[in-house]
A = this chain, B = another copy of it.
Amino acid sequence: MKTFDEALSYLVSQAKKTRQTETVAIAEAMGRVLAEPVVSSVMVPPHDNSEMDGYAIDRMDLTHEDTFRVSQRIPAGATPEPLEVGTVARIFTGAPIPKGANAVIMQEETEMVGDKVRITAKSTRPGQSIRKTGEDIEAGTAILEKGHRLRSQDLGLIASIGIDEVTVYRPLKIATFTTGDELLEPGETPQPGKIFNANRYVLAGALPKLGFELIDLGHVKDTLEETIDVMKQAAELADVVMTTGGVSVGEEDHIKPAIESLGSLEMWKVKMKPGKPLAFGQIQGTPFIGLPGNPVSAFATFNLFARPYLMQMQGVKNICITPIWLEADFDWPNANFRREFARARITVPEGEQKTVAQVYPKQGSGVLTSTVWAEGFVVIPEDQTVSKGDRVKFYPFAEMV
């Protein structure tokens, strides 16, 4: 048996980073992974400009006067004249600061006196309400690293330096299929001895959300021939083949002989719960990941193993999720030699400055409702119990999928 950490670090070490890149418009780049750093050729802001609507002034003039003539008007986008000595310039948010001005007085701290402006501000400081050239970004700086997965604010930052397209990795194509003659597709008539296919839809939701291209080959009959045929097809079409079910040691599983006839396979029992059986190999050179058939195990191993493996292959630099240490609001009296990933919710007790984790009462691995109730996993370390008030690590689902 492999420990969780051994299995994960081995798996990630085997992920070959994709090399195929493409150039896309930034408006289409959400969730994509940078294949090159984004380097700024400009200063942001490109010139000193006003943070406010107000009046640009030379602070020296305030030492002997408080009422001034307005000598020019500078809207955003204008190119101002130097500030006439002893006057102020009407200025708007984002507009360039005229030469000779060294502060902006917000209009709420002024009043009109005839056609002049009186400054009512009690005090001023040099550079007040002025955004300096390059304050946000110096020219020549890499604003985003290769391997960064783009969020909405990143797109905004790239746009702010005038760049309209980025070089990103082509999304991985992931071929999936499910096996097991006991499975019915939702919408079909229930039959005795059969259960509905849940894993197919977990993957159909999760893989595109993570930015991958899903090739769903459907449900495959439990025969060796069919399994081999679909395996070959999957390996040709996709960058990674992923299945659920069919990787236990049972005789009825055809995944193992199918892959062994086309490539190679390692079967792991990982010291984790849920999610013990996990298979990893290759089909004619295409990586293969076999998740367990049990839906909770499939969900857990997908998030905890497949996700980091795929992210590494997709070129993501930081595949780790920072754990959030919280207080346990539960007792976990039975230690297990396997690391447990309990389905948990977080809550803030009324009037307290702490966030606590609660676990789903039925952690039986068949119960998919636990993952629906939950907001993340709480880790119960190997051979440990947990008492209310102990500190535990929480991994939010929102950081995964």
Contacts and interface: CB of A to CB of B under 8 A. Distances in A.
Interface in A167-196: 180-188, 190, 192-196
A26 to B, nearest CB: 5
A288 interface: no
A135 to B, nearest CB: 6
A85 interface: no
Contact of A77 (B53, B163, B182, B204): B182
Given A46-B192, A77-B181, A353-B325, A144 B51 contact: no
Interface residues on A, range: 35 or more
A94 B76 CA distance: 68
Nearest to A368: B157
Interface stretch (A14-22, A59-67, A226-234, A391-399): A391-399
Given A249-B53, A322-B355, A396-B396, A209 B152 contact: yes
A336 to B, nearest CB: 16
A220 interface: no
Interface of A: 26-27, 29-31, 42, 44-47, 49, 51, 53, 75-80, 92-96, 107, 131, 135-137, 143-144, 150-165, 180-188, 190, 192-206, 208-209, 216, 222, 248-252, 293-295, 299, 322-326, 346-348, 353-355, 362, 364-369, 371-372, 375, 391, 396-399, 401
